[in-house]
Amino acid sequence: MAKTRRPLKPEEIQEFKKILLKKKDEIWEEIRKDLKSRVSEEYHSLINDVNDEEDLAQIDLQEEIILGVMEARKKELEAINQALWKIDHGEYGKCLECEDWICIERLKVRPWAVYCLECKQQLERLGKI
């Protein structure tokens, strides 16, 4: 089945904008929940009750996991903001590499995609992303 590579219709762009804004809100809500749990009494109690190296290692591991998740969310938010900027400036849906249209099927899966699937795969093989 051939992939559809064409400019998006205005109503499709608006639908993707809604999806992107919703995803952005969801990520911010997840971040708020994570930060709230990090500063909860239970977390402070865990820190105050450190008894040995093993407890300290467990806290360090927990913090590394949280920071890793936060970094991934930050990158996702940056990609979403970039897609929203492109929508506002009439550039949404074009591949950064080949400048052809990203197929709509890919955008439905990843509305903040900046590369068409072919360019993404090629860049990954070359180790550029």
Domain residues of the chain, as ranges?
A: 7-91, 93-129
The model's confidence at residue 1, banded by pLDDT at 50, 70 and 90, is very low
Map tokens 């809500």 to a residue.
29
Q: How far apart are CA 67 and CA 23, in angstroms?
A: 20
Question: Does the predicted model carry a pTM greater than 0.75?
Answer: yes
In whole numbers, what is the pLDDT of the chain averaged over residues?
87
Asked whether the beta carbons of 118 and 112 are under 8 A apart, the reply is no
**Nearest alpha-carbon partner for 86 in 59, 113, 124, 126:** 113
Q: What does the alpha-carbon distance between residue 58 and residue 52 come to, in Å, rounded to a whole number?
A: 10
Does the pLDDT of residue 35 top 90, yes or no?
A: no
Q: Where are the alpha helices (DSSP H) in 1-129?
A: 10-38, 41-48, 53-88, 104-109, 117-125
